[in-house]
Structure 1
């Protein structure tokens, strides 16, 4: 059986900035308003692309991909703000200029408070 999450090739750390291709029509696209963004990474793991097909008709949607086609962002259909990313948005966030994902998360919390 193949693991869903695997070590990157040779277990090498992915460090630094890299382009992310954002899928139009997704919640994360609404956040960025762009189909391509540059984000910073620091990890050794990745999603096993052999499992991509199993997500095609489900509620979890892959909404961002590396240039090599590896999924790096996903979201839950119909949820006010369920976005998970492989990259590190905190590396690009500042006290006076929040990363767009953090700003939109806070906005979604406020709009959906009980």
Structure 2
């Protein structure tokens, strides 16, 4: 993973070295997120360590705008559906999430049952 960042990611984003890129790429404070955010993690991810998944999976405890989903199995960015793995269910989940946030955004605060 470090080789990928060193040889591809850092140079393609204009950084002289991988450490500068990694420092820049750190997420902001999750408690400041003002819009709904869906975090999806796979517990057997081949890219992110299990410890990192557990740590990042706790962001929802700092902010009600963050919704966290843990899945037992899957690849880093694709969640195959069914035995034949013909479709990826992540697009369905994302569509439902964005549709729900759009509906809530169009409501007034009382209809959406949001705190005042």
Do both share a fold (TM > 0.5)? no
TM-score after normalising by structure 2: 0.26
TM-score after normalising by structure 1: 0.27
| Greater share of residues in helix | 2
| Higher Cα radius of gyration | 2
